[in-house]
Amino acid sequence: MSDSATPAVEEKATARAQSGKPASGMTLAGRAGRIPHLGLVVALVLLAIVGLVTKPENFATSSNLVSVLALASTIGVITVGSTFVIIGGGIDLSVGALMALASVWATTLATQAYGPVVMILCAVLVGTGAGLLNGFLISYGRMVPFIATLAMMVAARGLAQRMSNQRTQLVQPDNDAIVGLSTTRVLGLPLLVYVFALVVLIGWVVLNRTTFGRRTYAVGGNPEAARLAGIDVRKHTLMLYALSGLCCGIAAALIMARTTTGSSTHGDLYELDAIAAVIIGGTLLTGGRGTIIGSILGLLIFTVITNLFILNGLNTADQLVAKGLIIVVAVLLQRRSLNLRT
């Protein structure tokens, strides 16, 4: 080791000695704090204990587990897309309405005449196209994401109502292959759960193992620095909203499978559930930090809470109040964490 490096090493050793902690020492709480998503896992365990105590005969059953996972699947796919958008420094309030529009468009008689493959393709294209429009308005139209996606939310919901004449459209018997995503089970789980798991896996790989993912963190953390580093920020933002729209289209196919319908009422308040799950999962609303796994754990917390309210026969209004309080607490904890780091 060179002589110039020796003083630096000695200074570090002196600082550790003065702090009263061993060089390799760390408290148990400190080590626990370094475990990723430990708090979310603990929260899930506590909710499970509540379920076992309050409704042991209903909560700890395979049918209830399947119900929770099936409910989480549709919102979960949307949550993956929302995670990318929020890490990239944006927000998407239109996800629930886009899912409704995609489901209505895919279940029109004209679309259903071409079979289930075309129906699913239609849902995906409608969602992706609307997401691209969101991204174009934000990136090249320089609209604030909140305003652009709020306008899309209202317009998409209205268009879905107009196309369906505010009626629920049934999936025709000839297209039962779509319904099979919900009814066909592999190892006890419906296929839509596997679709959800596949979307999560792909999302994790893209975010953590690709240039696109690294650029998403860079754009969300500091757009100007990302631009100076050679990243086309506007194009990347456009792609993020297209990705969110794509997830909405996939979610539309899943909700058609679960409900055997397309309806303008599908996805009501899904944008709140998705955003709340992302926030609870540790993603910063200002962008630049977050994980897919954290968002999914946040989603599972919300889904289990909903399940507990249903099993215990509690009022839906109380459920909404509880969700609102959870969101407020999550944001306050985020701010506290940021203050401690700075």
Q: pLDDT for 270-285, tens place per residue?
A: 898 899 899 888 888 8
Return the bridge partners of 261, or none. 170
Prediction pTM value: 0.84
Of 127, 76, 95, 128, the closest CA to residue 278 belongs to: 76
Backbone angles phi, psi at 66, to 5 degrees: -65, -40
Residue 130: pLDDT band with limits 50, 70, 90: very high
pLDDT attached to residue 17: 36
Residue 157: pLDDT band with limits 50, 70, 90: very high
Mean pLDDT value of segment 190-202: 95
pLDDT attached to residue 335: 63
How many helices (H) and strands (E) the chain has is answered by 17, 4
In this structure, of 4-8, 30-34, 42-46, 103-107, the range with the lowest mean pLDDT score is: 4-8
pLDDT attached to residue 207: 94
Please state at what angle helix 62-87 crosses helix 233-259, rounded to 10 degrees: 160
DSSP assignment, residue 149?
A: H
Mean pLDDT value of segment 8-17: 42
Distance from the first to the final alpha carbon of the chain? 34
pLDDT attached to residue 127: 96
The SS3 assignment for 313 reads coil
Backbone angles phi, psi at 186, to 5 degrees: -125, 120
Predicted confidence (pLDDT) at residue 30 exceeds the cutoff of 60: no
Q: Residue 270: which residues within 8 A CB-CB, separation 6 or more?
A: 74, 75, 78, 95, 96, 99
Predicted confidence (pLDDT) at residue 86 exceeds the cutoff of 90: yes
Q: For residue 191, count CB atoms less than 10 angstroms from its CB and return exposed for 0-12, middle for 13-18, buried for 19 or more.
A: middle
Mean pLDDT value of segment 119-128: 95
Highest mean pLDDT out of 2-6, 53-57, 147-151, 317-321 = 147-151
